[in-house]
Amino acid sequence: MENNAELAARLADCEQHLGYAFKNRELLELALTHASDKAARIEHAAEVAFEEGNEHVTQLDLVDNERLEFLGDSILGMVVCDELFHSYPEANEGDLTNVKSVVVSRPVLAKISDDLGIAEFMSLGKGMTTYDRLPESLRANVFEAVVAAIYLDGGLVEARTFVLAHVRRHIDLVEKDQHRKNYKSKLQQYTQREFSITPAYRVISEEGPDHIKEFEIIAVIGTKEYATGRGKSKKDAEQEAARATLLMLREEEMTG
């Protein structure tokens, strides 16, 4: 188990990478604590309790970053939506939704997490340390947890500043790719070249009466779901889903 000096050094190093100094470092420690480490700490605490003749494990040993991920997801979405709303007054709801879906997607958040080096500061259980590279979902989730920790520590202004510092270039990348293309054709060419797979599209929802129906469709490559798209027709929704998926694949290439 990590001693107090080692913990303090790890958290201080993480703060340097994040560019934010916590008033309450316990929030950062919590944000970096994965559920797998919680299980290891519970086991350790139970062993100590048994040796000391105490049958109970304190609530402190039951804490991980999952509640912070929940909060951070909402804060991140709100900050991105607010930025898009004010930065692109001419964009319609569908365009804004499509940009947001890429910017807050798992591949993009995982890349931001990688750029900041957050994963190397995490507290992980033994089962997670066997990975050559941590799962994309874990790397994305810890970024959300850090966003929530900064919000609780410094307020919304600090959280917004942190989020925009790291998502702004991804917003710009998506916004610059607004010119119309046959995205479905381009995505098919890409996936056949890279994976020997043809992408599929699945309807997630249909809303409204027949004459003003709106479709939401998700692109699927193999067994992996990628981006969603919305449109007044299935064709338009599929094009939007393909466009957003191409951007996500570009992000994955950049993470290498």
What residues are labeled active site? Answer: 73, 144
- Count Cα neighbours of 186 within 13 Å in the Cβ-side half-sphere: 16
- Ranges of H-type helices in the chain: 4-18, 25-31, 35-51, 66-87, 93-103, 106-116, 136-154, 156-175, 183-195, 234-255
| Overall residue count recorded for the chain in this entry | 256
The 3-class SS string of 82-125 reads HHHHHHCCCCCHHHHHHHHHHHCCHHHHHHHHHHHCHHHHCECC
Provide φ and ψ at 181, rounded to 5°. Answer: -140, 165
Cα–Cα distance, 18 to 162 (Å, whole number) = 8
Is 108 in contact with 76 (CB distance < 8 Å)?
A: no
131 burial (CB, 10 Å; 0-12 / 13-18 / 19+) is exposed
The label of the residue with tokens 């913990």 reads 7
Provide the β-strand partners of residue 98: none
Retrieve residue 225's tokens. Answer: 């779901």
229 SS3 class:
strand
Is 85 in contact with 92 (CB distance < 8 Å)?
A: no
